[in-house]
Structure 1
Amino acid sequence: MSNELERALEDIKETAELIHGHGWGEATAGNLSVRLQGKIAFDKSKFSELSDRYENLAGKTLIITSSGSRMRQIASKNTEEYCSIITMNDNGTGYFKVNNFEKDPSSETIAHLMLHNEYEKKNPEIKAVLHCHPDQIITLLHLTTFKTKEAINKMLFSIHTEAQLIIPDGAGFVGLKKPGSYELASAILNELKKREIALIEKHGCISVGKDLNDALDKVEFVNKAVKIYLEIKKLR
């Protein structure tokens, strides 16, 4: 196992442990992915065709939490048992499963591929995608006041001065969509073309970063700001 892969697995384990500790990964909720630089041997017989082309990911390798995995399992000593590694083919129209990491990737893999494809071209330093279900964020988006990114960002930037440092471009907003759907993935991509975190109505949030720590920073910050807002609201 390469040093890069070992580091990626350790980062996934630590991030899953934090998400589980926060209570943001109930049951099989949440998924993580990291785009790798190195090449890993794959099984040419285990190929999956994709409905779209991800040309910027041609030949690239990604590690992504597997379908049906739980954050508490991913955080265990056997993280690799709950991760999939895929290598895209030479034109980005499908992927091969990497030997020993052959489980099916997350049901929300399309959203991850769309984001990695976008950032590989726009900002290759962004290599990680994180999706989870923070309680306060989900609560906030049940309020009719917060159904636009303008309303959400006005609140976030008024609640905490460090919003300008951690989420300078603010947060995006994605309305109610079916989990795992192409429609949801497309809406997420649209929001994250201009910013690095988006809140998803009655679902949770998704963020990107240079690594998983960077992506988690944004989620923790936004959820804390939302928590403070909800606490203030109780006092009024």
Structure 2
Amino acid sequence: MAKPTLYYLVPSPPSRCVLLTAKAIGLDLELIALNPMAGENRTEEFLEINPQHTIPTMVDGDVVITDSHAIVAYIVDKYAKNDHLYPKDIGKRAVVNSRLHFDSGHLFARLRFLYEPVLYNGSSDCSREKLTFIRDCYSIMEGFLKNSPYLCGSELTIADFSCISTLTSVNGVCPVDSWKYPKLSAWIDRLKAIPYFEEVNSTGAQTIKEVFQQMLDENKQKNILSVCD
């Protein structure tokens, strides 16, 4: 049986969510790296697979999935030996789904609101308002973790992988203060203690923060020069 193919980019938080999940369940993937900044996700060949041109994209036989949250749910359902990461119990699964939607609709959406204009549109906006917008998500997550070690209760789930891959991609730019968010800080440390976490997530998370800072500095300089012209 052919391995599922994952089109991905290491610095991409959603890609790392899929890689973390695959590692957790022991799933071997055929990996094809694409660089969206070089337009590699907009080639005719890739658009035939995914007209939305988003990364990650998974192809598993005749099945094509174009969203990380859907991908991780799919691979756990199909390939995991148990349902610990994505419970089949409808009540527990609903909680996991709600946290996945929190990532896509709030946490990752706010990272994009900060990062995308800088990386792709020449913006130099890293304003207090945008950082406050992200920190509002930290407060919500602190509430999620009030009475449990993980976002959905006592067990690690794909929602933890989804949110940690996003949060570690922005927390150097918008730090998680341990005195203000002690539960969230402890959760981050808990995820970082997973044996494969450093290997799968940390390099990509550091890379995207460094690229963002570099582009932010370059854009600020260009914008200053354009004003002076």
User: With structure 1 as the length reference, what TM-score do the two structures score?
Assistant: 0.26
Greater fraction helix: 2
Higher RCO structure, 1 or 2 (CA under 8 Å, sep 6+): 2
